Every structure is written in C-alpha cells, then in structure tokens.
Structure 1
C-alpha cells in the first residue's frame, strides 16, 4: 500500500512540478570537480497528461458569396383554380482548396440547409384560414427540419450542391459548390375543403427562416466539419380582392426588396434532426382552421393534405385531435399535392443554378482562418419500434448511426 502511494505521489509531482533540464553539461576536470561555475540558462520542461491537439484538415475558403435576387415576388393569376407566386432566388457559392488525400480517404463538400421557422397562412375572410405546417416545428419536437432533396441526405441537393473527393491525390484541389432556392406555390382561390371553384381567398402571408451550412463530410465515418454558416429569410404578404375579376385580384403589399442573407462570424452547430429524414417536402401538412383568423387554433382543425411520410403524424401527439379530412380529388389536383408550398425541388434548383454566374452577389472577403466544428448524430441505446409509412426513413438512419459510432472529434481551420 505504501509503495503504491509513493508511486502515485511521485507521478502527481511530475505532472504538477516543472523539472529543470540543463542545456549543456558543465566542464569538469579529471577529478570530477566543476571548473566553470558560470550560471547557464535552463529549459523548464513540464510533464502533463494532456493529449496532443487533434489533427487539422487544412481546408481553405477562397471565396464565399450569398445573395437573394434584388427583385420583387411575381404573381400569376392565370389559373382559374389557384393563385401562384414566384419568389426571388436565394443563391450561395463557395470556392475552396481541399488538401491532398491518401488512399481510401473519401470526403464530400457541399451545402446543408434547414428550415427553422415557417408561418404560411392563406386567409379566406370569415370562412377561416389554411396553414402549411411542419409538425416537428409546430409541436416543438425539433428546433428545425432538414431541407434536403430527400435523395442525398443530409445535403441540400445532388448536383452542383455537393462534390465528392476520393484519394489518393497529392496536390491541393480547387473546388466550387453552388446552390439556390426559391418558392413557387399554388394556393386555391376557394377554401381547400371545397369542391367548387369560388373566389374566396383574401390574403397570403409567408415568413420562413433558414440556416445554410457549408460543410465537409468524412464519408467513411460520418463526421461533419462546419466551414461556414449562412442565415436567410423570405418574408412576403399578398392582399387579394375576391370581388375583382381574375387577373387583377392580387397585390404584393410587403416590401418588394428582399432582406439579404447574412454570413455569420460564428458557426452554428447542426442539430441531429437536420441529418435525418424526413425532409421539409415530405413532412409538411396543410391544415384548415374554419372560422378563425391566422394564428388562432380552431377546436376541430382539419388536416387537408397529410404528409408524404405517415410516421410524421404517427409519432406526434400534437395532432391527435385533428380531423383527417378526405380531400376531394379535384382539390388535390388544384393543390398539386402541396409539393410546391415549401422549398423548391432539386429540379428547379438545378435548372436555375446555371444562371447564378451572372447575378450580383454579396462578396465575403477571402478567409484563411475559417473555424470549423465537428458534429455527428447521437445514437440511442435502443431501436425504435416499426413505424407505419416509414419507407422514406429506413435505410438512411442506420447508415448515419453507423457513422456516428465511428465519428471522432476533429477541429478544422
């Protein structure tokens, strides 16, 4: 026992106390006596248990740009069934230098986006209002939701939005990733539970906010390095006079000049929920609130358009008392399935991204000290029970969970 204590104490002293180590050996005569007693500088060496700093992946951001087209939202009243509007495009572009990779290394560089808020109200006078909603946000289940295209989680898209790099290569590579987003929804002139084509729409109000991350993802272990964070929003309001003839009913009353994106100085951590399905387009629902004003919850709200992924509601008791309305086929056709009420699809993104080169952009000065932070999904100790309508969820989650078990902390500059 005493020997153990001595060894432990000696080690503790080595950790805490500096040791003086002479830089030179003093001159000595043949008798072993010191000849030169001049003081010499010493080096103070401290022995600690601290681990060496984590390895640094020298990714360099050469250019970073983010902007929203400086034009107003356009309104289209040509359809007898629905009002359409098209918002200006949000565009982001990044040019980076990626370091050499060894054999077997595999990285993906691109954009991840999430929606953090959605207020989307369509008013029909005294009849009530409809609301496009994300159940995860409405119930407070998650702080945000993935805006992935649904085919290449967790990335926003599958084309210009992400680039794959596989080793080996010995030189730095310059790469560029682009993305863009806008909205082009269809809103019925009549209340969504009606099978008629009356003109009762009186107001449209929409406010959405987003985080967009530029990231580098290690495809071998799932670790994600956040290179930069952008925040942006879309805010609009349209007044509609249902008594006027079609073609002259709707007027944009919100500020026609969009608020420009902000490139944050400090990165925002990506929540785990953004890495998993469902994405925004497969989780959104359309709810009808009869006899209420926007923001007021009716006693018996009706879900007119259910989510594409059924388990979104299956796991969310917030909507247990909502009526599941059997929407008429004609109304479903008018709504176009609700697919255009949220973020634009990857098809529209890819078709418009080619024109981003000619658009004025807000330029971020080149930086060589972009702080990056590792995040990876947290795994639970138990497997969830099977969920009905879970096809859009299976397959992806277990891959990310495997990555999470392998992920290790890395800091990148």
Structure 2
C-alpha cells in the first residue's frame, strides 16, 4: 500500500541519522555493502563494520566507543523467460530496487554495548505483462519488510561474548494474479494490497580462542505476519457479457498470513597477518515453513456464494463449478518449499592503511522442492555468488565501502502448467546484479 513508500523513506532517513532482493526465496542478505564485497563471508565476526548488529549482536563488543553506519545495495534482476507458445516470452525483472540499511553501536562500559539496526531483511519486486499467457503463475508482486532492531551485547570474558535483540517489523505486500475462465474467454484479475506490524527476536554468541581467530553463531526467530488490506477483482464477465459474473468485480476485504522465516548462521574470521584476513559463513533458513499462501476475503466469499447459487438456479451448474475452481486457484498458491543453505568464503587484502581489497564466492540452494510449484513471481533456482569490493579509510574516524556482486541462477528453471503439470516454458536467466555503497563514522 502507499504506506510502504513512507515507511521506506522513514527507514532511509533514520539510517542516515544513525549513521529495500536477493537471496533464496524473498530473503535479502544485503544488510552490509562492505560484506557484499566478499559474498557475506564472515559477517559480524569480521569486525570491519557494525552490521553485526543484524547478523550477530554479540560482535558489537569488537567496536569501541560510538559508531554509526549507513548505506544500501541497488539490486537489478534478469528473469528472462521463454515460453513454448510463440509470442509469450517475458522478463519479470521490474525496476531496480534499493535496499537501505543503517546501524549505530555504543559502548556503555567495559562489558556492555547497545546497538540499533534498521534493515530490509525480506523483499522482492517482479512484474510481467498483466495479460500474459501465464498470468495464473502471477503477474506482479512487491514485498518489503522493514526491521527495527535494538540489541544489547555483553562481554562475559575476554574471549566470549553474547548478544540479544528484539525486532519490530513492518511488512507491506502487493500481489497480482490472473486467470482465464474456460469457455467464456473472460480474464479475471485479482490485486491484493496488505500491510501489518509484527515482532520477533534474535540472539548471538562469539568466541575468540586466539587474538586473531573468531567464531560466531546467531539465530533470528520467525516473524509471523497477519496482513490485512484490500482485494480488488476486475475483468469478470467483461468479455463474455455474463451479467452474473460481472457482480464479482469490485473491492473487498483481503488478508493473508505470511512469515519471515527463522534462520541460523555460523561464521568465522582469521586474521592471517597484518595484510590478509580469511572469512567463512554458513547459513540455514527455515523456508520449509512456507507451505501455502492463502488469500482470505469474507466479502468475496459471500459474493461468490451468491453468484454460484444464481448460476445453479439458472441451470448453469457447470459454470458455477468452473468459477469456484478459478477462484480457488487464484487465492490458494501452493509452495511446499524446503529449507535453504548458503555457504561462502572470502578474503580481505589490506593494501595499505588507506585501501583494502576484498572478494568472495558463495553457493546458495533454492527453496523450491518440486519444480511444478515454481511461480513466475518468485521463480528462484540454486545460485552462485561472485563478489568484489573495496574500502577507503579517509581518516581514523571515516571510511567508505563499495562492492559489486553477480548472482547466477543454475540448475532446474522450468515453469509448469498448474492443471496438467506439463512444461510450458523455461527461465533462460535467473540472475541478479548488486551494487553496494556505505559510509562509517566513529566518534
């Protein structure tokens, strides 16, 4: 809804005072432009920026005094789709999306730190022609989750620290889907716009067995959103002239339950010498909790009941059954996703006191367990990350970071008919291009 633009502006503004994809499903890993440059290997325990507020709050103890950080990542998609039916090729990339982030940390004393993170941990934006042949797989979708996350960290010993926080999330979603009504030639379109607030929590720990070796583990809880808003229906009975079906068009109440899934992460950082540091990350995300997306509308259900009864009384029982099937298919999207895993390796090379180079590679699995459940709005596939980046330390207080990454989808990328399971097309490319920039300041 319109509130998302205001919320995004507030998030960006707060990020600036304190200092909106692309991963499996609609999870966004891009909470640090610096860490993007090494494919998020070693995030948090690296200690090179304060994004650990999000990734692992225990790592705030690596930062003395007060620090602020702000920036973002520009995400562009290439969802090049080739259909078996001539003239129906599409690209659902939509417009480029900017994913902002902002952090602040403050050391209270020798054992206690506090921090605040404002991030976009989940989001996506895809768009196809509203009348394309595969509109039953979705025409457009936009999801943005903004997370406000205060944290606290405690240094229990010189070698071990813990951290915890609470997340207050605002979620806004728009989903467009269409369906053709057999025998009538009508094309029905539904557009759902909803938003909601919900909360979750996060914890983390860090162990330093040696001065130059650090290990971290962290966990973020599932955040379950019950989003409410409007459901608009159009196109029913327009082509066929069926007056009974035209009564379906209009605006109704709409709601949907969607979750930001839980995830757990293990990270490592090894400062080999004054010039070289090596990093690693392994992450698990609980996408198996995303079984089905059900759009609920008591108003539309009541109207469909009236229309269906009228068709039956008019002797059009078959049409009533067809309408019921079409409506169910538009409002119940089966996902049956599975858990995903991401592993990354990266390195920093400190060329001199001013300039640091970095690079990294990662592999991430797709949540799609059965190819037949792939949708056009979240097509997804296994992917490789290839990333490079650089930091420039202008003074003891001020640093800027830039990065670029290419995500390349590999493996099974076909689209299948919902009713027959027949292959109807293939995504030739499922790629993303990411450019990140941020600034850090230490008081």
After TM superposition, the score normalised by the length of structure 2 is: 0.24
Higher strand share: 2
Highest RCO, 1 vs 2 (Cα 8 Å, sep ≥ 6) = 1
